[in-house]
Structure formats: C-alpha cells, structure tokens
Amino acid sequence: MTDPIYKTDALIAEDIDAYLIQHQHKSLLRFITCGSVDDGKSTLIGRLLYDSKMIFEDQLAALEADSKRVGTQGQEIDFALLVDGLAAEREQGITIDVAYRFFSTENRKFIVADTPGHEQYTRNMVTGASTADLAVILIDARKGILTQTRRHSYLAHLIGIRNIVLAVNKMDLVDYSQSVFDQIVADYTAFAEGIGITAFTPLPISGFKGDNITAPSANTPWYSGPTLMAHLETVEVDVTADQAKPFRMPVQWVNRPNLDFRGFSGLIASGTIKPGDAVRVLPSGKTSTVSKIVTMDGELDAAIAGQSVTLCFADEVDCSRGDVIAIAENPPQVADQFEATIVWMDDDAMHVGRSYWLKLGTQMVSATVQAPKYTVNVNTMEHLAAKTLELNAIGVAEIATDKPIVFEPYADNHTLGGLILIDKITNRTVAAGMLNFSLRRAQNVHWQATDIGREEHARLKNQTPRVLWFTGLSGSGKSTIANEVEKSLNLMNRHTFLLDGDNVRHGLNKDLGFTEADRIENIRRVGEMAKLMADAGLIVLTAFISPFRAERELVRSLLPEGEFIEIFVDTPLEVAEARDVKGLYKKARSGALKNFTGIDSPYEPPEHPEIRVNTVEMTPVEAAEHIIRKIMPLK
Amino acid sequence: MARILTHLERLEAESIHILREVVAEADRPVMLYSVGKDSAVMLHLARKAFYPSPPPFPLLHVDTTWKFRAMYDLRDRMARESGMELLVYKNPDAEARGINPFDHGALHTDMWKTEGLKQALDLYGFDAAFGGARRDEEKSRAKERIFSFRTASHGWDPKNQRPELWHLYNAKKAKGESIRIFPISNWTELDIWQYIHLNDIPIVPLYFSAPRPTVERDGMLLMVDDDRFPLAPGEVPVERSIRFRTLGCYPLTGAVESTAATLPQVIQEMLLTTTSERQGRAIDKDAGGAGMEKKKQEGYF
C-alpha cells in the first residue's frame, strides 16, 4: 500500500485558516477515464480516491464487506465496487453509465468522469469528454490496443481534448516488462499520429497494486517519468485560452425587475468585457455600449470567460434569449446551412430530412440533416459511404436550420460550435454535433422580396387559403373523400387544387422510393409545394398516407397558424386490408412489396387532428359533407 | 492580464448558468428547500443568478413535522430575506395517520417525504424542481444527470438518461413529465462549507457545537428537540457538546460529539474526520446497498 501522502496535510490541524486560503485558490482539472471493458477504469478511480484519502472509514468498512460478498478480487479490497454505484451494474460487474467523482490534492481539485467501455454506451463517453480538459486512456498491458482504445482516442481528440494520458494498466500481470510497455507505446504512437494526436503522456501503472499512481514504483526502475497523480497535479491546462478570444456571451435570460432595470444574463463563452466596450447583438446586428456589469456582489470592472454575469447597455436595444452579445468590431457569423460532424446517440437511426430541434448555446431552432457525406470507421479512420447514422456512428453531414443562427466553428469556440439534436416527438437528445463551417450557398442565397404577396393573391380569389391534409392508411379512402370535398368546393366557386400521392409520384417525386428516408423527402416536397399553392391563394387538398407525425408537424410549421387542417381518415387496418382496392395489401403480405405502411412500416396516427372522419360509419359523401361543415366559412 | 478562475468561481458560474436555463425553459419551476447547508448554498446561488430580481420561483418545503425547531426558524427567515414565496406542504394522509419516526420506521420517510413530495408537485403542477443533491454524497447520485427526468408518476430510470454535453441541457418534456434539476451536482462537502464561509451564508446553528440534551439510540446520538421524544422510564437526557453534519428529522439524525463552534473549526473537523457525512443518516441504510437508488426510482429526490 502506498503512503497516504495526500490528505492529512499538517496545515489542516495546525492552521485551518491558512489551509482554507490555500484551498480557495486551487485550480480545477476535469478529466475522463476511458478504455475497454475490464481495463480497470473503476479500479483506478477507486485507487485514486483511496490514495488521496477521499474514502472514509465507514465507506471502507462497507467496501471490505462488499468485496468479500460480491468482489472479483478474492479476499482483497475490490476498488471497483466503490464506483460501480447502481445495483444493476454491481450484479453484472459492469459500468453502465457515466459517473462523476471528486477528489482534491494540495494544488488541485479534480472532477473525474468515469466513462464505460461498452460500445453501446459510447454516447456516455462523448458526454464525459465534452466537459473534460484531459483524457486518461487505459490499456490492459496484456491486450494492447483494442478497437475501443482507438474509438475513445478518436472521440477524445474529436471533442477537442488536447491532453491525453496513455495509462498502460495491469503492469503487474506482465511482470512489469519494459518491452511490453515500449511496444504498446510504439503501437499507439503510430495510430495517434494518423488521427492528429501529436502528443500524449504514456505511464506504466497498476491500479490494483498501486504502482506509479501516487508514488513511483520500485517495480518499474526503467521508468523515470512522473506518477499519474503527479502528472494530473502539474499538467498545464489551457484555461486562459478562451479569455484571449473575442468576447461572446449567449443571452440566457432578460432580467427586468422593474421599468428602470434591463439586464442580459449569461455565461461568458469567450473573451473579456468591461463597461464602455462597444458590443453588437446578433443576429440583428444592432450595436450598443456596455454600461455596467451587475452581480449580487457588486458591479464588476471587468468580466472574463467562464463567469456568469448580467450586462446592462447604454441604449435601449432589442435583445432576448437566443441572441449572442459580441464585441462590436469582431462579431461571429450568422448562417443557416453548415457542415457538421455528428455523433449519433439514439437507438433510432437518423431520419434524413426529418425536422429535429437543434440547441446551440441558448438558441433553439428546427433543423434537418442531409444524408451523411461519409461516416468514419474508427478502427481504420476510413471514410465509408452511408445513407444514415445509426447509434454510435460518427459522420459528416450538412445541416440546414429554419432560421439563421449565430455560430463559430467548433474548433474556435465550443459554446458556439457545439450542438445537440432533440427528437421532436420523444424529446430525447439524439445526437451531438460540431459545426465545421457554414456553406457558401447559405451566404449567397437571399430571400427575394416580391410586391404581390399571399394576401393579394388570396384577396383576388375572395377566399382564405387552406391546406386540407388528409392522412390515413393505404385504402382508407383519402383520395376518394378528398375528391368529393374538392367537387363540393368547386361548386361553391372556390379555387382549389388536389395533390394526390400516386399522381405526384409519377412526376415531381418519381425519383423517390419507399424507404423511410424517401418517404420523409416525399412529404417534405409535397409540404413545400402545398405551401407555395397556399401562398398563391389556393385551397390545397393533399391525399398522402404521410405515416410519420414529425413530417406532418413539419408541414404545419411551414404555414401560418390555422391554415393547416389535419384530417385523419380513420379506417382500421382490417377494414382497409379487406377493401384492398389496389391489391397492395395482398402483395405486402406475400412479401412482394416491402416497407408497406401498416404491414412492415409503422403508421403514427394524429394525436389531435383538426378533423377526424370514420369511414366505417360514414360514406365518402357523408365524410366530405362533414369536412365541408367543419372548414366553413372560408373567408 | 489573464486571470485563472478558482474552482469555486467555476462551480458558482456553472450553477448559476443551470438555474437560469431552467427558468428560461420550464413553465413552472420550484426550488425544493430543505433548510440544510446544501439548500442554503443553492438558495444563495439562485439569489445571485437573478439579482437584482428575486428568484422567479417559489420555495417548497416538504415538511415532515419532525424537523429540528431551529430549522423552521431559519426557513421562515430566509423566505423573508429572499423575497420569495414559501410553500409548506405536509402529506395530509401522513398527518391524519400520525406517521412518526419512532413508531413507523421506513414508512415515515416514504409517506412524509417521498409521497409528500409527489403530492406537492402534482398539486401545484410544477414541471421543474431544483434539488440540492450532490454527486459526491452517494453512489447512485454520482450517476445522475444534472437534468434528471421523471415520468408522470415521478419514476427515475437510471438506464434511460439523456446525454448531457458541454453546457447544453435538454429541458424538453411531454405533458405530465417533470424534471428534477441539481444545480450543485459538482460541489463537494468541502466546497459547500468553504462557499458558506466565503459568502457568509446563514445556516442552522445546529451545525455548530453547543451543549444540547441527548440520548443514545442504536449507536446513534440523538438530540431531544421537543417533548415528543419517547424516553424510557427513568431515562434523563444527557447534556453533551454536540453538532450535526447533516440535518433531517431530528429523531433520525445522529449528532457527533464536537467542540467546533466556528465555521473554520467545523471545516477542520470535517477534513480530519474518518467517517462520511451521510453516516449519521438512517435513510441510506434501508434496503441494503441500493437504498438510495431504489428510493429515487420510487420518486424520492
């Protein structure tokens, strides 16, 4: 057992006030540990906590009892049990989620993210890495570099961690062999260069036995470098780098306690700011001057990256949550199309063209992702062609947002370049993304203002535009009912147009098939076309299965409030299948037709349609009359 | 020119950022206020986050009627000083049935705290609740996100947590679901004490040692805070110099013998001690090693 040099520092007992002042000035290092299953991550962290005396007697007593009961180290203390917190993982002897640990030495406070090695939990590793200054990559000396080692090294580098420690663990099981260590370091060097890691610190250790953790080991006389703890305590972390960059602060909240005070609260992402500095609010581009920096501890002369503050301006300038306050002469860019590197984190693969929430800084917008340009094979760094991104895939793709956002490339600014995608239906965080650059296309295509707008078009036709969106299973009666509705509207001198699923696929969408991605693109195009027709003043009827809620909601969001009328043609599958007007169900059941809605592709019924028609109880004409009654008047 | 922020400055900025994100994105936030030292720091951070406005949400105290009297005093004082609305909720069912820690054991915590909390959140329709839990306290806490999602029935699913990257928190949720948010997740016990010291934050005097009437029960030193404490025939409370490392229901919270009467002395004692702070809490020992994990799945904070 190593010497307990890290806690009971004499100062605590002798002069607590002096100790407190010293502790108050400690810096902070956040790091992650990653490696493959059984590389001994949990054991290493347990060891760091134990050797820095962060484990109390009652915890140690519980640990000793647990070690004997469920430990994997015989009668010896199993440090892994300290950190494998959940009952589920203790039973299975694995780590299933990222866990955060804390310890401190005389010079630093440490926050450790313990990230699991199982491939299916790579998303947790990315989560842990996103806030880390340093990564400890563990290798089992007996096994050398594995797939997971490459994946984790690549991810750590991708997330922007510049300090990498290669901890060659379990040296006790290879007789502390220098040649084993040297070979692993050589192998890793060759791999690391290939992905752009230019420097790393290799260390021979044993988390279980304690070699080179807090004290130099007598078992590795051939190693003269620092111990792991000594390295963590002294490694230079570039904490001041963000301060040297131009000032940026995403606005979180507008503080208005009364009419005399209006402040903008946020966490400073980069740079420094002081009263009198000229600032620009983006995306509007309006400028003002900082009049004061307000905190409860008094007004500040200056504030720096990493501080949470409230800024007041000299003038009344429009500024709200989602805006970015930047130094006036050097503002960030604004764009709506980007190339991004995306790590997919959800069990449901990415849907090309689907609308997701995109959160970047404090901005929340709708965004769609194109098919990836390529995905990265993390073992070989090869670029592979792919149609989508599955769980744990890393790919490069174009992202388009529904309105311009303020951004910087991730390499320049993690706050304004790092994003998450959120599924609009499940609300899950499905991906993390890093913006590489904006596409010139977005900078060069501008909206052309025209003099005759949608109001003028509609007024001439003496009607209010509508999109009557019929959705339902194949054979439910969408086209038949839509046709009846259009006939009635025509008799009433309304200007209409019926977009039918089958007909559109003969022309505009004849390049699309029936995969999930193609179905989404099909509906996106129809939605955009329906919007153009509504802008032209028409009452548009569409008859498409449109099986996914997310795409129907996307079309709704394209139109002014109230113009999108979702009509659910509610026909049970048995009834539609029994009708089988086109013989498609029969083909689908026999396997001759793939991806058929209701059979081997899902249909998501509307939750709150504006109109529902039941075709079991109503004839098509009755259904049409019901719809007409609901949508009148149309002026 | 460049200045390195200290670890406490970084923790403070992170917590304030979290508090503001929730207020910006949630419909009806509330702060769970337990009157302990962690709650004291969380409340102080909230006052800093929204200054000069008062924090734009109420404080909620889920009362068990068995807290130390000194806790009720500080609770009412802090509500006045912060200008925040204080909501006190007591589970009417537990009250009617006279549930107490002496006769009902684990049922006491379950009904007053777990059930009481769920009832209060449902009653007021809060969709986001701040809690003062820290990751260094307990093993299942170490694996919980800062934004922790609860089903409509308040359950926690540790295997289905949303990834949390950078400072980006996903606060989207379906109707009926709620979020528990832990703004001081990354603080340690020492950080809390040091911050209280540096900011001169009011805390319950029970954290400082003083002569108090005590009895021993099951190896724990309990304080006789009022006349509801059942004494054995002929038993007389013994006056001892004691203080508390954590505060809960007085019949369930063990004291330590101590002479630490100032904050630096308390910190000194904490740093030199050999037992963890939750050691005096009976609640963690229910259901074996997985006590807290199981409670959280049932809806406990």
Give contacts of A266 with chain B, Cβ < 8 Å.
20
Among A38-42, A505-509, B190-194, B279-283, the range scoring the smallest mean pLDDT is: B279-283
Q: What's the pLDDT tens digit per position in A105-143?
A: 778 888 988 776 565 567 778 888 999 989 999 999 999
Domain-terminating residue out of A215, A234, A253? A234
Q: Report phi then psi at B118, rounded to 5.
A: -60, -45
Q: What pLDDT sits at residue B201? A: 96
Q: Which residue of A has its CA nearest to B287?
A: A87
A2 confidence band (pLDDT: 50, 70, 90): very low
Give contacts of B143 with chain A, Cβ < 8 Å.
85-86, 97-99
- What's the one-letter identity of residue A393? A
Instruction: Give the DSSP letter of residue A270.
Output: B
Q: Which residue of A has its CA nearest to B8?
A: A24
A583 and A598 together in one domain: yes
Tokens 């430990």 belong to A71
Report the residue of B15, B43, B48, B143 to disrupt the A interface, i.e. the one with the largest count of A CBs within 10 Å.
Answer: B143
A30 and A124 together in one domain: yes
How far is the CA of A170 from the CAs of A64, A96, A205, B298, in angstroms?
A: 22, 22, 7, 40
Q: Quick check: A126 and B163 CB within 8 A? A: yes
The CATH number given to whatever domain includes residue A545 is 3.40.50.300
Nearest to A97 by CA among A88, A107, A109, A106: A88
Q: Report phi then psi at A457, rounded to 5.
A: -60, -45
Distance separating alpha carbons of residues B71 and B37, to the nearest angstrom: 11
Q: Is the pLDDT of residue A253 over 60?
A: yes
Q: Are strands A272-273 and A27-34 parallel, antiparallel or unpaired?
A: unpaired
Give contacts of B23 with chain A, Cβ < 8 Å.
253
Q: What pLDDT sits at residue B288? A: 41
Low-confidence residues in chain B, pLDDT < 70: 1-2, 139, 274-301
Q: Quick check: A420 and B165 CB within 8 A? A: yes
A98 and A221 together in one domain: yes
Domain-terminating residue out of A327, A346, A361? A327
Cβ contacts of A331 within 8 Å, gap of 6 or more: A280, A282, A285
A104 confidence band (pLDDT: 50, 70, 90): confident
A27 and A176 together in one domain: yes
Q: Is the pLDDT of residue A1 over 50?
A: no
Ordered by where they begin, the domains of chain B are 7-192+289-298 (3.40.50.620), 201-285 (no CATH)
Give contacts of B183 with chain A, Cβ < 8 Å.
none
Any B CB within 8 A of A2 CB? no
Cβ contacts of A257 within 8 Å, gap of 6 or more: B52, B53, B54
A291 sits in which H/E element: strand A286-294
Instruction: Assess if residue A291 is contained within a domain.
Output: yes
Q: What pLDDT sits at residue A89? A: 57
Report the residue of A296, A309, A405 to disrupt the B interface, i.e. the one with the largest count of B CBs within 10 Å.
Answer: A296
Residues 541-600 of A with CB under 8 A from B: none
Q: Which residue of B has its CA nearest to A83?
A: B139
Tokens 């960059």 belong to A245
A437 and A585 together in one domain: no
Report the residue of B148, B168, B277, B298 to disrupt the A interface, i.e. the one with the largest count of A CBs within 10 Å.
Answer: B168
Q: What pLDDT sits at residue B58? A: 97
A84 confidence band (pLDDT: 50, 70, 90): low
A98 confidence band (pLDDT: 50, 70, 90): confident
Instruction: Assess if residue A562 is contained within a domain.
Output: yes
A464 and A437 together in one domain: no
Percent of chain A with pLDDT over 90: 48
Q: What pLDDT sits at residue A623? A: 92
A48 and A75 together in one domain: yes
Q: What pLDDT sits at residue A500? A: 86
Instruction: Assess if residue A4 is contained within a domain.
Output: no
Angle between helices A454-461 and A516-535 (to 10 degrees): 70
CB nearest B16 (choices: A24, A28, A308): A308
Q: What's the pLDDT tens digit per position in A533-581?
A: 999 999 999 999 988 888 888 888 888 888 999 999 999 999 999 888 8
B281 neighbors B244 (Cβ within 8 angstroms)? no
pLDDT, average across residues A264-290: 94
Shortest Cα distance, chain B CAs vs residue A443, angstroms: 27
DSSP string, chain B: ---PPPHHHHHHHHHHHHHHHHHHH-SSEEEE---SHHHHHHHHHHHHHHTTSPPSS-EEEE--S-B-HHHHHHHHHHHHHHT--EEEE--HHHHHTT--HHHHTHHHIIIIIIIHHHHHHHHHT-SEEE----TTS-TTGGGS-SEEEE-TT----TTSPPP-BTTB------TT-EEEE-TTTT--HHHHHHHHHHHT----GGGS-EEEEEEEETTEEEE--STTS-PPTT--PEEEEEE-SS-SBGGGB-BEE----SHHHHHHHHHH-SS-GGGGBGGGGTTGGGHHHHHHHHT--
A285 and A380 together in one domain: no
Q: How many domains does chain A divide into?
A: 4
A226 confidence band (pLDDT: 50, 70, 90): very high
B180 neighbors B145 (Cβ within 8 angstroms)? no
pLDDT, average across residues A527-533: 92
pLDDT, average across residues A335-341: 93
Instruction: Assess if residue A449 is contained within a domain.
Output: no
pLDDT, average across residues A359-367: 96
Question: Chain A to chain B, count of Cβ pairs less than 8 Å apart?
Answer: 201
Instruction: Assess if residue A239 is contained within a domain.
Output: no
Distance separating alpha carbons of residues A331 and B81, to the nearest angstrom: 41
The CATH number given to whatever domain includes residue A414 is 2.40.30.10
Instruction: Assess if residue A32 is contained within a domain.
Output: yes
Instruction: Assess if residue A454 is contained within a domain.
Output: no
Shortest Cα distance, chain B CAs vs residue A426, angstroms: 8
A593 and A477 together in one domain: yes
Instruction: Assess if residue A5 is contained within a domain.
Output: no
CB nearest A66 (choices: B48, B188, B289): B289
Among A421-430, A463-472, A590-599, B196-205, the range scoring the smallest mean pLDDT is: A590-599
Among A243-247, A439-443, A615-619, B44-48, the range scoring the smallest mean pLDDT is: A439-443
pLDDT, average across residues A170-195: 93
Average pLDDT, chain A: 86
A534 and A393 together in one domain: no
Q: Would you say A41 is a known binding-site residue?
A: yes
Q: Which residues pair with A101 in a beta bridge?
A: A112
Catalytic residue, candidates A265, A546, A590, A601 = A546
A546 assigned to active site: yes
Q: Quick check: A345 and B163 CB within 8 A? A: yes
Q: What's the pLDDT tens digit per position in A378-390?
A: 767 788 999 999 9
Domain-terminating residue out of A294, A327, A360? A327
A168 confidence band (pLDDT: 50, 70, 90): very high
Q: Quick check: B274 and A359 CB within 8 A? A: no
Q: Which domain holds residue A555?
A: 459-631
Q: Is the pLDDT of residue A311 over 90?
A: yes
Shortest Cα distance, chain B CAs vs residue A160, angstroms: 12
A571 and A490 together in one domain: yes
Among A149-163, A227-241, A604-618, B78-92, the range scoring the smallest mean pLDDT is: A227-241
A92 and A206 together in one domain: yes
